[in-house]
Amino acid sequence: MVKVKINGKTIKVEKKSTIIEVADSNDIEIPRFCYHKKLSIAANCRMCLVEVKNFPKPLPACATYVSEGMEIFTKSKQTKACQQDVMEFLLINHPLDCPICDQGGECDLQDTAMSFGSPKSRYTEEKRVVLNKNLGPLVSTDLNRCIQCSRCVRFLQEVGGMQELGLIGRGEHAEISAYVEKSVESEISGNIIDLCPVGALTSKPFRYSARTWEMARKSTISPHDSLGSNIEAHVKDGNVMRILPKENEDINECWISDRDRFSYLGVNHDSRIKKPLVKQGNVLKEIDWEDALQIIESKLHPIRNNFKEDDIAFFGSDQLTLEEGFLLKKISEHFSSNQVNYNPKIHVNYVSNPHLNIKINEIESFDSVILIGSNLRDENPLILQRLRKMTLNNKKIDLIHYEDQDLQLQLDHKLIKPIEKIEKSILEILEIALDHKKAKKNQTTESGLAEKLKTQNVLILIGQDFVSRESILGYGEMLNQLVKKSSTSIGFLPTGANSVGLNQIFNDKNDVDNKSYKASITFNHEPEHDSIDEDLHKEIIKKSSFNILISAYQTKQDKSYDLILPSCSHFENEGSFVNLENKLQTFTQVIPPKHESKPLWKILRVLGNYVECDNFNYESCTAVKKDAVKGLLSNKNNNLELINKQSKNNNKIFKFSINNSDPMVRRSKALQDIEHLRSTR
Ligand code: SF4
Ligand code: FES
C-alpha cells in the first residue's frame, strides 16, 4: 500500500493502482474516453489529464501509476484548462449532429463536453469527412463522429479474440476501418456499440426507432444459454426496442453475446401464433381459449379416468422455466407418465446434475483449463471470453474435441480425433495422470496433458455432448480419483438456459419411448432444429391419437398437431432459470403478451385444473416458485455422480449453432443475416 493525496485528502491505496482507478474507487470524477476498466490502456484521448505535484506537465490518469507521497489535483486550474483544451481538440472534427444522432441523450462526448468543455468553439475551418464502413447487419457506422479512442479495436482483439477493426492513417487522416471492407463477425461484436463513447458505432436494427428518454428500462435474464446473462430490455409502447447488458461481474461482467442482444427482433415475427388453433380436416382453424380448453378437457379427462401408465408423452425444452418444469412434472405424475423429454437436445445424462461445480468467476483462478467436447463459440461465447482473458494472463487452454474448433485464442494443446478415438485418448490421459499406465517414450499430446494434470491446478470443462455419451461411465470414476489425488477440478457446460434446473426437477430422467400414446404435448420447441432425434418426435406424433403444441411460434410441422395453443415469448413471460453455476435467477414480465398468447405457467396451471391435478391452485408464479425450489439441490462440490443406464440411441450428436439455438433466435432477422454472411465466407 502507498499513501497518496488527491485533492488535498490523504488516502491509502494499492501500490499497483493507476490514478484513474484510485479516483473511481473514491468517487472522484475524472473524464475519460479511451480508458475502459476491461480493456488494455491506450492513453490516446488525453481527456483524463490531471495535475500532479512536482511534474512539469499534466499526466494521463489512466496510464499513470500512483507512488508514495504523490499529490494529485483533479480540479485545479491546470487540470481544468487541460480538460477544456482536449475537449476543444476532440470537437474540431466532430460533426456536432447530436439532434439526429442515436447516441444523443446517452453520449459520453455530449456529457463530457457539457461538464468539462468550453461553451464556445473557435474552429471555423472545414471539418474532415470520413466515409462510413459497412460492418454487417448488426453495427452501423457514422465515422465522422469517431474520436479514435480505439476502444472498439481493443475490444475485438482482446475480448472478442479477432482483430476485425483497426485504426489506419495518422493524425488528421486516422480512421477506423475493417480489414478489406469485411463485416464484423465476432459472436460478441455488439458490445462495441456500448463501448463507443460517441455515436460512431450504433445498433443497426435499433437505428432511429426510439430516443433513450422515451424507453422504460426493465431488467431480465437472457434465455439463450446456460450463463443466464443479466440484461436490460428497453421498452416503448409495449415493444422491446433494444437489449443492453446489465453489469454483473460474477456472471456476464459488462458484456452480452450478439444472440442475447438481437434475439428480441424475433418477438414480433409474422409466425407468432395469434389465437388457439384446432385442426379440422387438413386446415387449422382459429378458436377461442374457452373452446380450446374444453377440447383439452374432453380429450384428456377420459385418459385420466381410465388411465394406464405412460399414456401421455411430454416434449419440453431446455428453456422451460423452473416453474413451468415443476408444473409439467406434477401433470405428468398425475397421469402416471414417466414419458417426459425435458431436454430434446440430448438423449440421456450419464452424470447426475451436471453443472459447473464452481462459481463462474472462479474459472480464471486456475492455471490451466482443458476443454473437452464443447463448442464454446456457439454454446457459450461469454465463458469463452473468460478463457481468452486467461490466455492474456499467460494461463494455458487446451482443447480435446471430435471436430476442429477455431476458438480464437492461443491453445497450448489441441487434440482432435473422431469421437471414439478421442474417448480412448481421454482414457489414456487419465490413466497416465493416475500412474495406471506409463507414458510413451516419445512425447505425445496425451502424455503432455497427463503431465499437466499431475503438476498443475487444472480445471477440466466437459461439454454437454460428452455427458450424454455412455463412454463417460468408463472414465468417470477416474475423473473422481484425479480430483481426490490432485488439484484438478471438474465442471460441466450444459447448454440450455434452464438445463441445470430441469435436470434437478426431473431427476435427470429424460426419456420418451417410441410407441403410440393416447396423447402428446410438445412445448415451445421445433423438433427439426431443437431435437437430437427429430424422427422419434415425428413418429410419436404420427402414432399418437391426440397431439397438442403449446408454442409462441407456428412451426413447419403445425399440421401434425390437433390443437395448438399460443404461449408467450420470453419477454412476455415470468419465471426462474438455474444457470450453469447452479444459481437461481428470477425474471419478471417485460412487455405484455402479444395477441392472445398466455404465459406457459398459466396455461399449465389451467390445464392441471381441467384434468383435476391435486394441489394445483397456484395464484401466482411466485407461489409456484416457492414449491418448485424445494426440489433444487445445493451446490455439490467436485464429485462426479455417475448414472448407469441403458441408452436407447447413443450415436447421434446434437449439432449446436449459435444463431439456431431456439425459436426466437431463428426469427431474428439481424441474427439470421449475420449467420448467412458467416456461412457464405
Ligand atoms: S468508433 Fe467509437 S469506439 Fe471506435 S475508435 Fe471511434 S470513437 Fe472509439
Ligand atoms: S482516458 Fe486517459 S488518455 Fe484517454
Separation between Cα atoms, residue 437 and residue 155, nearest integer Å: 45
Q: Tell me, in angstroms, the distance from the centre of ligand 1 to residue 153's CA.
A: 8
DSSP per-residue string spanning 270-319: TTB--S-EEEETTEEEE--HHHHHHHHHHHHHHHHHT--TT-EEEE--TT
| Residue 175, C-alpha cell as written in the block | 480512421
Q: What is the mean pLDDT of residues 643-671?
A: 85
% of the chain surpassing 90 pLDDT: 78
Asked whether 316 and 343 are in contact (CB, 8 A), the reply is yes
Q: Say whether domain 360-493 belongs to CATH 3.40.228.10.
A: yes
Helix (H) or strand (E) holding 183: none
Separation between Cα atoms, residue 573 and residue 566, nearest integer Å: 12
Ligand 1 atom closest to Cα of 167?
Answer: 5
Q: Which CATH number fits domain 100-108+118-266: 3.30.70.20, 3.90.1150.10, 1.20.990.10, 1.10.150.300?
A: 3.30.70.20
Q: Range with the lowest mean pLDDT among 46-55, 318-327, 551-560?
A: 551-560
Asked whether 26 and 8 are in contact (CB, 8 A), the reply is no
Specify which residues 441 forms β-bridges with.
none
Specify which residues 59 forms β-bridges with.
50
Q: Tell me, in angstroms, the distance from the centre of ligand 2 to residue 62's CA.
A: 5
Atom 7, ligand 1: residue with shortest CA distance = 146
Q: Which CATH number fits domain 277-349+500-631: 3.20.20.210, 3.40.50.740, 3.30.750.24, 3.40.50.1970?
A: 3.40.50.740
Question: What distance, in Å, lies between the first and last C-alpha atoms of the chain?
Answer: 52
| The pLDDT of residue 655 is above 70 | yes
Separation between Cα atoms, residue 245 and residue 479, nearest integer Å: 36
| The pLDDT of residue 680 is above 90 | no
**59 Cβ contact list (under 8 Å, min separation 6):** 19, 49, 50, 52
Position 184 scores a pLDDT of 81
Going 59 to 60 to 61 to 67, the CA torsion angle's sign is negative
Q: Range with the lowest mean pLDDT among 79-93, 96-110, 609-623, 649-663?
A: 649-663
Fold of 2-92: Ubiquitin-like (UB roll) (3.10.20)
154 confidence band (pLDDT: 50, 70, 90): very high
Residue ranges around ligand 2 (CB below 6 Å) = 32-35, 43, 45-48, 60, 62
**493 Cβ contact list (under 8 Å, min separation 6):** 226, 356, 374, 376, 379, 380, 383, 461, 462, 463, 464, 580
Exposure string for 235-264, b = 16+ CB within 10 A, e = fewer: beeebbbbbbbbebeebbbbbbbbbbbbbb
Q: Where would I find the H helices in 161-267?
A: 191-195, 258-262
167 confidence band (pLDDT: 50, 70, 90): confident
Going 23 to 28 to 33 to 36, the CA torsion angle's sign is positive
Asked whether 528 and 556 are in contact (CB, 8 A), the reply is yes
Among residues 582, 575, 540, the alpha carbon closest in space to that of 557 is found at 540
* Structural Rg of the chain based on CA atoms: 28
Among residues 311, 239, 371, 272, the alpha carbon closest in space to that of 521 is found at 311
* pLDDT tens-digit series, residues 280-312: 998 999 999 999 999 998 988 887 777 667 789
Ligand 2 atom closest to Cα of 35?
Answer: 1
Q: Classify residue 382 by its DSSP letter.
A: H
C-alpha angle 552-553-559 in degrees, rounded to nearest 5: 120
| The pLDDT of residue 647 is above 70 | no
Residue ranges around ligand 1 (CB below 6 Å) = 146-152, 176, 195-198, 200-201
* pLDDT tens-digit series, residues 529-552: 999 999 999 999 999 999 999 999
Q: Where are the domains of the chain?
A: 2-92, 100-108+118-266, 277-349+500-631, 360-493
| Residue 194, C-alpha cell as written in the block | 456500448
| Residue 285, C-alpha cell as written in the block | 382453424
